[in-house]
Structure 1
């Protein structure tokens, strides 16, 4: 079980509460970076990796394909940012994370990140392949490349921008217990069925991964609340559903979102969702 508890030293200081709830040590941590410019991306990752020095957690590093301003998919696809990805790969190897999972351009089918694939699907695919090629050329690396859409079709069908099996090691899906369909409020079982059967939901991810000969991952998943009321909170049915899915499929890793991000609060380890926390420990603990 991987987990996100906050960036770097913030997350490290919160691991004890999560592991107490889980009943065993976590297997790894999910990390992110700044996106103001390439220099801050590298320095923020360097800082975070320093915080995890001396621990045995495996790393799932979220790799931004672009910065928030002044970059483009087309320029990246033509090689404008190669040196930054090479530097990132070298940093990860140097810091002892040569086996990191790399979530390159995660949630690319949505519109909330600058690398949104809908803006230029062909350039997105070329840039994804280019980043993989650059990082795989770093001496000493054993990186595991993760292709990671968000749940649902969002703004573009994920399989429209599949970079090819040669460039991907793990097919992933981020999954949150949320819905805008009024019928999903009827019962947690109905919500879970929607998450499984919706277009580009869990069933699609399992079929697609199997067709490509790749394992699955759920790098971000959680149940919690949203300020707009579309999150379903303390829901042990969701936890049990994820556990059953993991048991029935070839899943490389899962990363629980034990964090209050403002727009989604899926924390379990602080006691605010006792039924979901109990189910989590039952299904994923010792």
Structure 2
């Protein structure tokens, strides 16, 4: 694209404007980069000091995005300008040296009167002169000037858009000598001590006057393969701009085939007015291809920041390049919980009343003295059994019969034996024998066999023998003994028998 003509009035106005802008509020250096921040981005804002002064404001407008590329042009009207004999190079050099990651891109014309619309035959003559070495001294001075300004790593966009019809340094009139001329310029500038230039071969997109590959001077003298691509034909839409011959895709493929990095030194709106679709697609293409750098041409009708006639494209450009910072994290205010001291209420010490434990005397409950019933042991008198006296036989004397005197019948009373009182737990009582009445003489008393004593409870109870009822008029008298109901059951019925011999021979038999 044609560069704006250098005019003194515009330079003065631009300088004053830049000074006024520079006195504005200071802008903070950007801290974050958007996605694809490794791609150096810039914009052509002006060739002189105003272009330098506007860079921080563009950065601020883009939300702090760092503008890493400063782009300007040397005037091509005279050889003195091409030699770098212009004051604004000092301003750009100062900007470049402020940070190591910045890049200074300088478009350098290959011929004076570069925009004078010189016909092809004259262009061919100038090309041949350059290939013969007639202009080497001009480019040597430029190299020395840049090294002196301490910008020896400047990117030189030499003879840009050489495949078109606009500039005097175009390639079409004599491609072969044009390539030879390019090589002489590169060799001359590289011969200057201290240089580290990079040379960018940048045709215009599309065929234009000649296919740009026919002008490629060789890998040994080219460091970057660039392309200027505005929103204009050939190509009715962005897809055609990609696929057309010598279009965007061929540019990328060619650079890759030659092992070179790509660039887009100039791009922007032109023939189709405000075109946000082009702006969106071009920015996306740049992000995908990862060129070494790109710079939008920002003046009307191409621009989006200084030119206000493309608002829709401006919005797309700004949103795409503004760093996507995460929303600020607003810390949740920590409201301290008031530390209300808990009042220490002393626990009242209530004295425990000393209630004496009443000494309840243990009642002495007298153990009831249950008298052991004293069961009187019945005294069983030993029966006094009279020993019978056996009469000594007396030799009979002659018996003198004596009259028999009957003795009165004396009744013999039956002895009454009292029944002993048996206590609750009586011991077995032994019956007392009945003493014979002393009233009755017992001349011949048969011994009375006492009743058997009651057996011990351990000994089996003997069956009591039934007393034999003495016959009538017997000599044996039996008296039953009553031991009480309980004892009688134990020992059975007992009786005491006495035999009295009242035989006829005794003289007592009454019958």
Give the TM-score category using the shorter length. 0.7 to 0.9
Aligned to 1:64: 109
Aligned to 2:304: 268
Is 2:301 the counterpart of 1:251?
Answer: no
2:82·2:139 contact (CA, 8 Å) conserved in 1?
no
Is 2:187 the counterpart of 1:147?
Answer: no
2:82·2:108 contact (CA, 8 Å) conserved in 1?
no
Secondary structure of 1:145's partner? strand
* Residue-by-residue CA offset, 1:13-62 (whole Å, 9 max, x unaligned): 33344223323231112211222221133355x32212225323521111
Q: TM-score normalized by structure 2?
A: 0.50
* Residue-by-residue CA offset, 1:102-145 (whole Å, 9 max, x unaligned): 11100000011111101111110001111111111111111111
Secondary structure of 1:72's partner? helix
Q: TM-score normalized by structure 1?
A: 0.87
1:215·1:250 contact (CA, 8 Å) conserved in 2?
no
Aligned to 2:473: none
Is 2:217 the counterpart of 1:163?
Answer: yes
Secondary structure of 1:131's partner? helix
Is 2:73 the counterpart of 1:36?
Answer: no
1:21·1:277 contact (CA, 8 Å) conserved in 2?
no
Secondary structure of 1:113's partner? coil
How many Å separate the matches in 2 of 1:285 and 1:84? 41
1:3·1:258 contact (CA, 8 Å) conserved in 2?
yes
Is 2:238 the counterpart of 1:192?
Answer: yes
Is 2:115 the counterpart of 1:115?
Answer: no
The Cα RMSD (Å) is 1.9
How many Å separate the matches in 2 of 1:36 and 1:235? 33
Task: Give the 5 Å matches for 1:1-286.
Answer: 1-23=41-63, 24-43=65-84, 46-56=86-96, 57-68=102-113, 72-179=126-233, 184=236, 191-224=237-270, 231-260=271-300, 265-270=301-306, 271-286=308-323
Secondary structure of 1:220's partner? strand
How many Å separate the matches in 2 of 1:249 and 1:53? 29
> CA separation of 1:4/1:200 partners in 2, compared to 1, >3 Å: closer, same or farther?
same
1:85·1:135 contact (CA, 8 Å) conserved in 2?
yes
* Residue-by-residue CA offset, 1:147-176 (whole Å, 9 max, x unaligned): 010111111111111111111110010010
Higher share in helix: 1
How many Å separate the matches in 2 of 1:283 and 1:148? 25
How many Å separate the matches in 1 of 2:223 and 2:105? 13
How many Å separate the matches in 1 of 2:311 and 2:212? 35
Number of aligned residues: 267
Aligned to 2:360: none
Bigger relative CO (Cα 8 Å, ≥ 6 apart): 1
1:17·1:269 contact (CA, 8 Å) conserved in 2?
no
- Residue 180 of structure 1 deviates from its aligned partner by 6.4
